[in-house]
Structure 1
Amino acid sequence: MVTDESSIGAGIGAAQEVLGRVFGYDDFRGDQREIVEHVIAGGDALVLMPTGGGKSLCYQVPSLVRPGVGVVISPLIALMQDQVDALSALGVRAGFLNSSQFPDERRTVEAQFVAGELDLLYLAPERLRSEATVRLLERGKVSLFAIDEAHCVSQWGHDFRPDYLALSVLHERWPDVPRIALTATATEKTRDEIIHRLDLGGARRFVSSFDRPNIQYRIEPKNRADRQLLDFIRAEHAGDAGIVYCLSRNSVEKTAAFLTENGVTAVPYHAGLDNRTRATNQSRFLREDGLVVVATIAFGMGIDKPDVRFVAHLDLPKSVEGYYQETGRAGRDGLPSTAWMVYGLNDVVQQRKMIESSEGDAAHRRQLQLHLDAMLALCETVSCRRGQLLAYFGQPDGTSCGNCDTCLTPPESWDGTVAAQKMLSAVLRLERERGQRFGAGHIVDILLGKSNPKVLQHAHHELKVFGVGTDLRDVEWRGVTRQLLAQGLLAVHGDYGVLTLTEASDEVLFQGRQVWLRREPERVPAKSARAAKQAKTVVDMAPGDVPLFEKLREWRSATAKEQAMPAYIVFNDATLREIAARKPGSLAELGTVNGVGENKLAKYGEGVLEILAQA
């Protein structure tokens, strides 16, 4: 453990040297330097840093500086091999232990750990429940413990993992080994729970800005979601890698098939697929350019693919934390990307039903309801979406971002008090005069005066509210209903999703409460495919450098295919852009480019210089 000032100073100097020699970067970004210095000095830390912000360097660099092996606790069993491959390409000695390995593979890694022949060892959290693993760690020298995706410890988080609850053993068995817990998103409550459950009471908290300015946030009314998605991809992200999230496995399968039938290469990913299919589809996404994965939320955590250009949601996420984590998988390279979602009345009804029927006590259901309310507030806001998102994580900023739909095409607010009274009155009369409850569609039919068989069967054409809503169209009434549900002025009841009044309903019907509603724009202007393509390739590049950049990408793709690894492990786009702009003429010059470390320079340097010589 580093304790005296001279050792700490030496450690800081060594960290800078490792950053340049191994990772190929001139300097740390944001809070990285302070975090690295703190951990090298033996301090515990809780790090909140957005996806793509460089969390991994915060434990990788100290692991290479401090004596011993850095042990990384990660829930991402399916991705450990890719993480180890990425480190190996940098010349870092890395290994992993998880249930996917054969016994002889595990024994080899264990022997390397004990002999001090590893720099980093990745462990699945469940392995720490085994006394054999604990004894193994005691036989070697551990430089630090990194607990990745630390939000998994929170019962209110969006990816709760019971195995994480046992990680307090780290402090009990190794009190002098520093621990660093990392996550891309957590509210103050979740942070407190991480600190409590991991026994990190003395840890410093490092909270970076949650803002991802390169991501454009857009939410549109849902109307044939699959067709809307196809139009969005064709107009703005043709040929780009993307992730599409759906709530159910059936929706995943249907959406992937629909995209494929319409010329978009797409594969499904969900827990119902066999292990081989899931692994194949995930591997294709990492290694192929322009592939779209349609998935449940089980997909995406820890995927270090920097060129995901869009994340789309076809169903309403359960929480703002989940939404932020999922949308954060777009644009890790800092280039323009889109977080796009369609959202409608059925989403609200379905989520309310799921909460009502969920397991757990009343307190648990109230917490789920609070999560949903915050998500609905984000969807229905008339102010800057990015501002609302940042305020949720305790970073309010009163300015408009200029890069979300509500800033680009400001929605109108309108006095919807009369419309709300008509809708609530219809529900009231059905409940109190007839003792009946119906879903939104039937109530809208009554308001519009539709004499269809169901209305006539129940004699609802005799109600006083029959036909009083012809001033609004069907789609507008569904928007009114959606927003009344979002504001808690209506509730969903039972398995059939029927509507019922709330305590607040009376305030609108009888106490003069005013109701303001959001009027959606007809359509959010989309970037043209040409504009999107230009944004993707020429950011920070002179037009004359684009052909060289494309040649470097072709070389990278061929090289990655030969070595059976994702292209971004060779070099990411940011590094190739800098090479294209600077056109280094020697290995020494190439070595000064960000992202070109010692090992990559030796492995790929001559190949890059050949491409430059041909240009």
Structure 2
Amino acid sequence: MNETEILQPVDFLKQYYGYDRFRPMQETVVRTLLEGRDSLVLMPTGGGKSVCFQIPALMKPGVCIVVSPLIALMKDQVEALLLNGIPAAFLNSTQGNREQREIEQDCQSGKLKLLYVSPEKMLSESFFVFLKTLQISLFAVDEAHCISSWGHDFRPEYTQLAMLKTHFPHVPVAALTATADKLTRQDIINQLHLNDPAVFVASFNRPNLSLKVLPGLKRIQQIERFLALQPDNSGIIYCQSRKSTESLAAKLQEKGYRAGYYHAGMSAESRSQAQEEFVRDDIRIICATIAFGMGIDKSNVRWVIHYNMPKNLESFYQEIGRAGRDGSAADTVLFYSFADVASWKDMLSENAPANLGLQMAKLERIQHYAEAHSCRRQILLSYFSEELTEPCGNCDVCQSPRVMFDGTVLAQKALSAIIRLKEQVPVNTLIDVLRGSRNQTVMQNNYHLIKTYGAGSDLKFDEWRSYIQQLINIGVIEIAYDDHYALRRGILADAVLFQDRKIQLIKPEDAAQLKAEQKPKTKTEVVRDDLFERLRVLRKQLADEQNVPPYVVFTDSTLEEMARLRPTTPEAFRNVSGVGDRKLHLFGKRFMEVIAGFLTGQAREGTQLKGATHLLTYELYQRGMTVDEMAEERKLSSSTIAMHLIYLSGNGYDVDLAALVDTAERLDIERAIARVGVENNALKPVYDALQGRYDYTKIRIVAALLGRIL
């Protein structure tokens, strides 16, 4: 019986990834693929899709071919696999012919378990001939929604992947994606010709992500306040235009933030450099268009801001999903304004896609999400056909329930002005009239002469803008998109003006909400935070040495667990979630040294921390002190110091016990132990047999060297 028949999937999970248990649904997917059945796997970003095909690839004979859409994504995933001790490689246009031939030879000789390729590479005739020479364990099609024209990121080259089942009918295919509605799911199955596939739809709920929508006013100032609370964390700001990514990055740089930008108009070299700097934590903030993200496997993104509203909930969900992939808390903020909706409607109308009606409907759904006054997570999950029975408690609506007031008079003032302006002016002009502005537009058109001029001078411009947006949302006012966005009476207008219809409005949210009240930290939280920062600095150093992104070394959640558990022995370090065999070997000692240094510092300050007393002894030992000198320094007995050193030696610390006892003395004590024996760690019979020539400290050390005491 060979190893793969003995070991279970969870054994591979622990050995290579350092986790004791699978996430929900992962093990079922793994076993399904091991049985050779095609599968469609929908898991949220950060939900662990890769493990679902990587473990079957490790357990099955042959090599797994992974179709991945972006070079950067392949590179990151292969680096992570290699660091976990898993033989993997990628083939793409960045490599020379010689390097590609060597990788192909490694596949043919069985040295590799996973090979990542682009869909374009899969379609080349020469590569197809090469595939025929391999023993293929399975095909994994990542970002499978790209195959569907109904999806939000359609890529025509993906449609050619139907040839996989045609030419390799007995090789299982796993199609994996984070975002696909019901229509897209069925299209993926049809396009890939999956044979009676098992369909796995994991929960789309990412409870670690906070959800917040803010009015799109003074966005720069709001972002600055937000970043003041996130000084050392990585985040992405998604913008609608290329120009805004550059201008926003420049403004943040002026404020002292390490920010960069990314968009499709940059050269390939510049894009690659920006992405590399971000994933390696050389810059903390990336201002980007939607061109950025699919190739990012960075698990320590702690926040995502949408400077502009995306055009559908699929895109929004996928983009916020790039935060908190490690399972730790992360924040998401969506700025929302009517201008964003209008901009998208203009673009869609101009481009006139074949499914214009569907695209407009999807835009309307995200608009509803942004304008919601009920739990945002319930709305988001319902779009993906998932029910959340209780409000989430981690969105702005749940945390700050909306307080309504009677806004009927405000609605009547706005409607009256619209009518007197002959339903021909846009939002800003209407507000100027209501507030009694004397700007050029108002004066030249004699708008200052109408009866309702200045009727709303008691409100600020931003307040009026918020109220008018709400009146548009509920149907009191309409926008003529085809007539320069002029405001007109909506379906409820007559009822408000003539039928005593009452209108409930919400006071505009103060942008200062981003100054979230911070709970006072307890002493233990401060200790953890200080240690976490030390571990994060070390992680960055090691990542640079290994030439990989920091999150590939360890995720933030693994560092948080280290900071909480403070492991100072290899066995304890091995028990930290996310520490596999190879990472323990590569990095364990360096991290334990930082933890030990932290604990000894705390011990010197009088903080009682488990294991700190042993580490203080170790610090003195490293200075070259004798056992007696250490005992005097620490005001402890020499026997206690000896027990510390024995414990440290037995737990992987560099302590040479043999050097603490003279060779002749050691031989004498060994003979006495052989004659008398040591039972239940009792050393007095040995001491008596030696007639008191040696103290208990030396006897204890020699007994430990012989393995006779604990």
Distance 1:502 1:110, change over 3 A: farther
Cα distance in 1 for partners of 2:490, 2:129 equals 57
**Equivalences for residues 191-590 of structure 1 within 5 A:** 191-200=185-194, 202-234=196-228, 236-288=229-281, 291-361=284-354, 364-414=355-405, 416=407, 419-420=410-411, 423=414, 427=418, 437-461=424-448, 466-467=453-454, 469-470=456-457, 473-487=460-474, 490-494=478-482, 496-499=484-487, 516-523=504-511, 525-526=513-514, 544-590=527-573
CA displacement at 1:339 relative to structure 2: 0.3
Distance 1:351 1:508, change over 3 A: farther
Cα distance in 1 for partners of 2:491, 2:518 equals 52
**Equivalences for residues 9-88 of structure 1 within 5 A:** 13-88=7-82
**Equivalences for residues 150-169 of structure 1 within 5 A:** 150-169=144-163
In 1, are the aligned partners of 2:328 and 2:556 still within 8 Å (CA)? no
Distance 1:355 1:478, change over 3 A: farther
Distance 1:383 1:32, change over 3 A: same
CA displacement at 1:419 relative to structure 2: 4.6
Return the letter of the residue paired with 2:202. S
Cα distance in 2 for partners of 1:143, 1:62 equals 8
Return the letter of the residue paired with 2:324. G
In 1, are the aligned partners of 2:71 and 2:295 still within 8 Å (CA)? no
Cα distance in 2 for partners of 1:579, 1:441 equals 54
CA displacement at 1:470 relative to structure 2: 5.0
Distance 1:468 1:556, change over 3 A: closer
In 2, are the aligned partners of 1:348 and 1:482 still within 8 Å (CA)? no
Distance 1:550 1:443, change over 3 A: closer
In 2, are the aligned partners of 1:244 and 1:293 still within 8 Å (CA)? yes
Return the letter of the residue paired with 2:181. T
Cα deviation code 1:308-356 (max 9, x no counterpart): 1111111111111111111111112222211012222322222222222
CA displacement at 1:508 relative to structure 2: 6.9
CA displacement at 1:477 relative to structure 2: 2.9
CA displacement at 1:509 relative to structure 2: 7.2
The alignment yields a C-alpha RMSD, in angstroms, of: 3.1
Of 312-321 and 415-424, deviating more is 415-424
In 1, are the aligned partners of 2:225 and 2:515 still within 8 Å (CA)? no
In 2, are the aligned partners of 1:373 and 1:486 still within 8 Å (CA)? no
Indicate the SS of the match to 1:331: coil
Return the letter of the residue paired with 1:391. S
Cα distance in 1 for partners of 2:14, 2:455 equals 71
Cα deviation code 1:164-213 (max 9, x no counterpart): 12222212221111111112222222222222322236222211222222
Cα distance in 2 for partners of 1:70, 1:515 equals 61
In 2, are the aligned partners of 1:44 and 1:178 still within 8 Å (CA)? yes
Cα distance in 1 for partners of 2:297, 2:108 equals 29
Cα distance in 2 for partners of 1:511, 1:195 equals 54
Cα distance in 2 for partners of 1:381, 1:373 equals 12
Cα deviation code 1:21-43 (max 9, x no counterpart): 21122121111111111111111
The one of 578, 585, 591 equivalent to 1:602 is: 585
Which protein has the larger Cα radius of gyration, Structure 1 or Structure 2?
2
Cα distance in 1 for partners of 2:500, 2:186 equals 41
In 1, are the aligned partners of 2:121 and 2:127 still within 8 Å (CA)? yes
Return the letter of the residue paired with 1:369. M
Indicate the SS of the match to 1:357: helix
Count residues in correspondence: 597
Cα distance in 1 for partners of 2:45, 2:62 equals 28
Of 291-300 and 443-452, deviating more is 443-452
In 2, are the aligned partners of 1:240 and 1:290 still within 8 Å (CA)? no
Q: What percentage of aligned pairs have identical amino acids?
A: 41
Distance 1:471 1:577, change over 3 A: closer
The normalised TM-score by structure 1 is: 0.88
Cα distance in 2 for partners of 1:200, 1:463 equals 67
Distance 1:471 1:575, change over 3 A: closer
In 2, are the aligned partners of 1:314 and 1:341 still within 8 Å (CA)? yes
Distance 1:504 1:371, change over 3 A: farther
Of 343-352 and 87-96, deviating more is 343-352
The normalised TM-score by structure 2 is: 0.77
In 1, are the aligned partners of 2:213 and 2:370 still within 8 Å (CA)? yes
CA displacement at 1:505 relative to structure 2: 6.8
In 2, are the aligned partners of 1:237 and 1:529 still within 8 Å (CA)? no
Distance 1:398 1:471, change over 3 A: farther
**What corresponds to 2:636 in structure 1?**
none
